[in-house]
């Protein structure tokens, strides 16, 4: 009986320790070999000739801000929103949300339904490349207003679809880059889509 117990300890215990060591080593290797991730920031800037002084854009967009002001005649530029996505090499980002990009009151009719995607993202020398970039939005447009006998004003709002599609787009690293522009319906304003991609913190 004692011999059997000793034999069991002699053979099984080393195997148990070996299995534990192998499992820990596999976990360590998995963490070490994890592919780096990249942070994709899509900034949505709106240019317009609204009354009042222009709104200063964040310092991180100063380089592209100078380009906008040099090529477009709007008196006002404001950052409507910034969207963040995290992706690894050969990955894809898809984003859908509701946003008040027009800067109106927070009523339901002021909301904009938007979505954007970056497909087949790849790391290339000196930057990044994506097989596709798509941005789409349904923007509320007031088409008419009426007043009832009690003097209450009601509005009819339609949603206008706007968007931008691109194939095989290249972007530099760590540099805010103007991707494209979209005119806002029934206004003189324009949406400027600016992308910044950098290595994400682990």
3-state secondary structure (DSSP) of residue 7: helix
- In whole angstroms, what separates CA 10 from the centre of its chain? 58
C-alpha angle 77-136-44 in degrees, rounded to nearest 5: 20
* Neighbour-count burial of 191, counting CB atoms closer than 10 A to its CB (0-12 exposed, 13-18 middle, 19+ buried): buried
Q: In tens digits, what is the pLDDT along the chain, a chain of 202 residues? A: 554 545 444 444 454 555 555 554 445 545 556 788 999 999 999 998 877 555 678 899 988 988 898 899 888 898 988 999 999 999 999 999 888 776 655 455 568 899 999 999 999 998 999 999 999 999 888 777 777 777 777 777 788 899 999 999 999 999 999 999 999 887 778 999 999 999 998 6
**Helix (H, G, I), strand (E, B), or coil: what is residue 18?**
helix
Domain boundaries, the chain: 1-34, 36-199
**pTM score over 0.85:** no
């Amino acid at each position: 009986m004692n011999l059997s117990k000793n034999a069991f300890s002699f053979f099984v215990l080393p195997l148990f320790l070996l299995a534990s060591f192998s499992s820990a080593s596999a976990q360590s290797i998995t963490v070490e070999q994890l592919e780096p991730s990249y942070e994709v920031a899509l900034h949505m800037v709106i240019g317009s000739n609204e009354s009042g002084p222009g709104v200063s854009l964040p310092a991180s967009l100063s380089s592209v801000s100078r380009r906008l002001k040099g090529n477009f005649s709007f008196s006002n530029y404001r950052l409507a929103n910034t969207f963040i996505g995290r992706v690894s090499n050969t990955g894809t980002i898809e984003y859908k949300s509701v946003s008040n990009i027009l800067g109106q009151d927070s009523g339901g009719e002021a909301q904009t339904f938007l979505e954007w995607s970056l497909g087949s993202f790849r790391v290339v020398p000196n930057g990044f490349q994506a097989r596709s970039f798509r941005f789409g939005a349904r923007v509320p447009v007031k088409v008419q207003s009426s007043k009832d006998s009690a003097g209450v004003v009601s509005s009819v709002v339609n949603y206008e679809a706007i968007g931008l599609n691109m194939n095989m787009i290249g972007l530099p690293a760590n540099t805010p880059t103007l991707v494209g522009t979209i005119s806002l319906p029934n206004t003189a304003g324009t949406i400027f889509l600016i992308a910044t991609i950098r290595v994400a913190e682990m």
